[in-house]
Amino acid sequence: MLKSKTFNRKKILVIFTCVSIVIILLSARLVYLMIFQSGYYTEQATELHERERDIKAARGKIYDAGGKILATNKTVCTISVIHSQIKEPEQVIEVLAKELELDEETVRKRVEKKSSIEIVKKNVPKETGDMIRGYELEGVKVDEDFKRYYPNGSLASKVLGFTGSDNQGIIGIEVTYEEYLKGINGSILTLTDARGIELPEEGERRVEPIDGNDLYLSMDINIQQYAEQAAYKAMEQKNADSVCIIVMNPQNGEIMAMVNVPEFDLNDPFTLNTGVDIEGKTEQEKQDLLNAMWRNQCINDTYEPGSTFKIITSTIGLEVGAISLEDTFSCPGFVIVEDRKIRCHKAGGHGAETFVEGIMNSCNPVFVETGLRIGVDRFYEYFGRLGLLSKTNIDLPGEASTIMHKKENIGQVELATISFGQSFQITPIQLAATVSSIVNGGNRITPHFGVSIKNKEGEVLKTFSYKVQKNIISEETSETMQYLLNKVVSEGTGRNAKIEGYEIGGKTATSETLPRGQGKYISSFIGFAPADDPKVLAVAIIYKPEGIYYGGTIAAPLVRDIFDNILPYLGIEKSTQPETEDETEKQVE
């Protein structure tokens, strides 16, 4: 009997101990949850009963060099529905389908979807949003938003780029400077009950958005507009595929204009400007067509520069002492290199000529001889020194690299063709940057658009700086090149770029498109002014012109017309020295 009582006491003690331990653990857990985890569970409960709607930040504006707006924002609305709050679903469906011009089935799917909040349509005009707000439909939310707007339509479309439905940059400047322009979105927070219905007595909490900062560019809207007009005129006259123009300050790399016609409508960037019928095309085919329309040929595409590259060959030849201005050459109309016969553009040849006359005549045999004198090692060394083997690092996305032979694959024939701008490819911006560096005293500049970032009050938050590599060539060589290229315009193949009262330097080019033999050409001219102190440089490239296609005949006048208009605008005064008119007719390349 005593043994039985002792056993029962032990049993009770064990049960009591276990229960006590459980109670202690539960109490400890309760204390932990109520004290140490209270913040976490309060946050979880709030999130469970809190509904959040975004307030979009206004994207920063983009301004030109004169303070004119290139990109801004329009107020639009986002229309959303909250299923649990809708009391008259059929009325909501009818109103939204009518005002938003959507089919009823699309609206019904969104209205009947049991989600906390469902967006029906974005980028709705403010007038339409105000009209929907006026119906006072329960469960329908009209929130103000921003849509990117470009007041100049297609102006500089492939440079500025555009944004998507989320207001994020897709191409161009809008992508490069996204971090400065985008801002930080805000939000509207409302509390709901267990059924998801908002509690009006709780009101709403707002986290205000922080607008993006403004970007100021070196682009000048007046120069851009005139350059585009001139490009469209040239494209129509020659029935060309496209025309590119770059206008920049060769001293510091600031780009005043960059044209790629045909441009596209920035406010409607997903509509093709080519007239191509997209009916029946796959989504990938449609996207390929859009990508082609958006391409910036000045930086995304490479081409054989042709005779404009003779500027670089001349510079290297002078730098390494392979040539002097007094050197004489003989041009019978061709030159033989190994087993290759390389022709001059003048079939009968130029006969005996100095190097100065050779560059004025754009004579291929002269430059083949110059290239061979320079040699592969020194030519390749200066390719790197002048920056041609690397990108310019322009502040635009998608810059293409130079396409060049490997050094070990350059034989005499390759060296000969490189010397007058064939058998390799560069971008137009690379040509502009390299020639700028040659004629500005020998400093390799970085071409760019971005100048500064300012806040809404106009306070400068950041001023951009760009790499400059000094003394890539001597000042003496730079001055010699200024002289030679002035002679090309005043007396040589570039005479169609002459402007009375101004000293212009430049070089013409005509290159055949690849693959060769199709009878298609690229005509170009690069010019700068004043010749002895360059303050503006321009490149014009006409792709696949019909009829006469010589660069000196059709591209040089294009740059002349641009300079004729913008030199006075830039405050570059005419020379007081009288002009001597050269009436000699010459074939222009």
Whole-angstrom Cα distance, residue 435 to residue 445?
10
* Residues 212 and 200 sit within 8 Å (Cβ to Cβ): no
| Phi, psi dihedral angles at 124 (to 5 degrees) | -85, 135
Tokens of 487: 């002679």
Residues recorded for the chain: 589
Tokens of 542: 């006409």
The residues, any chain, with a CB within 8 Å of residue 22's CB and separated by 6 or more, are none
Token pair 């007396």 is found at 491
Q: What is the DSSP string of 156-219?
A: THHHH--B-TTS-B-STHHHHTHHHHS-B-EEEEEEB-TTS-B-GGG-EEEE--BPPPEEEES-
How far separated are the first and last CA of the chain, in Å rounded?
128
Tokens of 517: 């033999």
Active site residue 390: no
Residue 19 exposure: Cα atoms within 13 Å on the Cβ side: 6
The stretches of 505-555 forming alpha helices (DSSP H) are 551-554
Instruction: Give the active site residue among 157, 307, 362, 511.
Output: 307
C-alpha torsion sign, points 262, 432, 399, 419: positive
Residues serving a catalytic function are: 307
